[in-house]
Chains A and B, each alone.
Chain A
């Protein structure tokens, strides 16, 4: 059972366009939602993250929108650039005092291609 569902699987956007990647989760214990960016041959790197007490977080061209009631969150990349071409993973994490504390639960990834 996949706890974080991510879509689309792949996305092609023209340079300057807006890239939107969506994720939905089931576990209401999740309290931290990071997005990771992965380039070929590299490991995932934290891009931006949000906690459920806010509905939006913006860092430069990257924005997370969070809908707690719908249990959905999305990544928006404004003015997409060819250098943004990478695989993007949404993730979720629950702070539990013991046992499975802080493991990340990932979505299946979105391969983003930004055309020049």
Chain B
């Protein structure tokens, strides 16, 4: 079974440009999460989809970030316009949500390393 995949693995852009990150969750997983790790700090929650609906977007830094999940399958995270402080590793995770409890294992993708110059 394929794991969570993310594209691209690396992206280097200039301040003011737009970047779109993509995440393909494990097939059949209803829950999809985006997280970000900035330079050696903790991994921080950005938002959570249940199928195509945004369940919680309390971690989104500002309105320059837009996440979508088309048809409840893959998700995209767009940053427009990018700022220097947006640099970091963006992780996507998915979980199956059989029981609806906090113990649903989240499976992480390898991340996209974003560098804004």
Contact = CB atoms under 8 A, between A and B. Distances in A.
Interface of A: 2, 4, 6, 31-32, 34, 36, 41-46, 49, 51, 89, 93-95, 99-109
Which 6 pairs of residues, A with B, have the shortest CB-CB distance? Answer: A43-B108, A95-B102, A106-B43, A103-B45, A32-B102, A93-B102
Interface of B: 4, 31, 33, 35, 40-45, 48, 55-56, 58-59, 91, 93, 95, 101-111
A86 to B, nearest CB: 13
Contacts, number: 73
Given A42-B110, A43-B108, A100-B56, A2 B103 contact: no
A45 B41 contact: no
Given A42-B110, A43-B111, A94 B91 contact: no
Contact of A106 (B31, B44, B104): B44
Contacts of B42: 2, 4, 6, 89, 106-109
Nearest to B45: A103
B15 to A, nearest CB: 26
A44 B108 contact: yes
Contacts of A51: 103
Contacts of B109: 43
Contacts of B45: 103-105
Contacts of B108: 36, 43-45
